[in-house]
């Protein structure tokens, strides 16, 4: 994860860090392990992705070895 990654166009719950930026899982209604992936462009809050598949989607690297 690049700590300077900014996410734009998130729902209010995602932008507050309370839901996954990929699958929209609400971490309050359905607790699940999550990992930080960056910050909301709108709120500046740290945002998260579900640990596992969602986190892998936003942190995978390109074949050249750079971040996507």
**pTM, whole model, 2 decimals?**
0.82
Whole-number pLDDT of residue 40: 96
Q: What is the distance between the alpha carbons of residues 39 and 11, in angstroms, rounded to a whole number? A: 13
Q: Which residues is 36 bridged to in the sheet?
A: 48
Contact 5, 38 (CB under 8 A): yes
Q: What is the distance between the alpha carbons of residues 56 and 50, in angstroms, rounded to a whole number? A: 9
Q: pLDDT by residue for the chain (68 residues), tens digit each?
A: 556 799 999 999 999 999 999 999 999 999 999 999 999 999 999 999 999 899 999 987 545 444 44
């Amino acid at each position: 994860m690049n700590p300077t990654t900014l996410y734009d166009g998130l729902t209010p719950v995602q932008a507050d860090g309370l839901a996954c930026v990929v699958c929209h899982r609400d971490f309050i209604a359905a607790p699940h392990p999550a990992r930080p992936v960056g910050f909301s462009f709108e709120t500046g809050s740290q945002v998260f992705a579900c640990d596992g598949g969602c986190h892998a989607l936003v942190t995978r690297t390109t074949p050249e070895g750079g971040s996507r």
